[in-house]
Amino acid sequence: MKNIISTFIIYFFSSSCLASTFIEIKFGGWSHHFNTKDEFNEVHEGIGLEVYSLDTNNNQVGVGYWRMKDSLNVSSDYFGLNYRYKIRINNNIEILPSVGLSYFEKGKKENGSITKHSGSSLIPSLSFNFYEKYGLDLFYVPEGSLSYSDTIFFRLSYRIIFL
């Protein structure tokens, strides 16, 4: 997985078809877990960085890193590749449906104790950008490898644009 990400980064920064490059600083992280009686951490204190390139057809490809306290209160790391498509609603609002491939290291409950485990997952999301600088990322995470119950997760972002 790390070799795939490295290859993608080299291609990403050497591509000649890109119109602009920008960085998004990601922070916060709040969640709600559905259909569970377990007590989970829902304030994640995350921080991350994603670098995107935008082509002339509103396609965006990016790479990123995200670190947070997961639902079990364990420090977790996510590295990923992301594709999203920009839909401009008006001069101030953009909606960006996306899908990302992430490699993660996070906490896991096993036999009554919490251990660290790693894996990869395909994660769909929906981002909303306001005034080209401020953003909100919304994720629905179904019960499975990343979550112990169906979960809604969101975080905030701030964009720095490079032309």
Q: Compute the distance between CA of residue 158 and CA of residue 75 in angstroms, rounded to an integer.
A: 23
* Amino acid code (one letter) for 115: T
Q: Which residue has the higher pLDDT, 75 or 12?
A: 75
In this prediction, residues 63-75 reach a mean pLDDT of 93
Task: Provide the domain count of the chain.
Answer: 1
In a domain, 37, yes or no: yes
In a domain, 123, yes or no: no
Range of the domain at 8: 2-13+26-118+137-162
Q: Compute the distance between CA of residue 70 and CA of residue 108 in angstroms, rounded to an integer.
A: 10
In a domain, 145, yes or no: yes
Evaluate if residue 95 carries a pLDDT over 90: yes
Cβ-contact 96, 22 below 8 angstroms: no
DSSP string computed for 21-73: EEEEEEEEEEEEE-S--S----EEEEEEEEEEEEETTSEEEEEEEEEEE-TTS
Q: Compute the distance between CA of residue 119 and CA of residue 141 in angstroms, rounded to an integer.
A: 15
In a domain, 35, yes or no: yes
CATH of the domain at 76: 2.40.160
pTM: 0.83
Evaluate if residue 17 carries a pLDDT over 70: no
In this structure, the number of other CB atoms found within 10 A of the CB of residue 115 comes to: 11
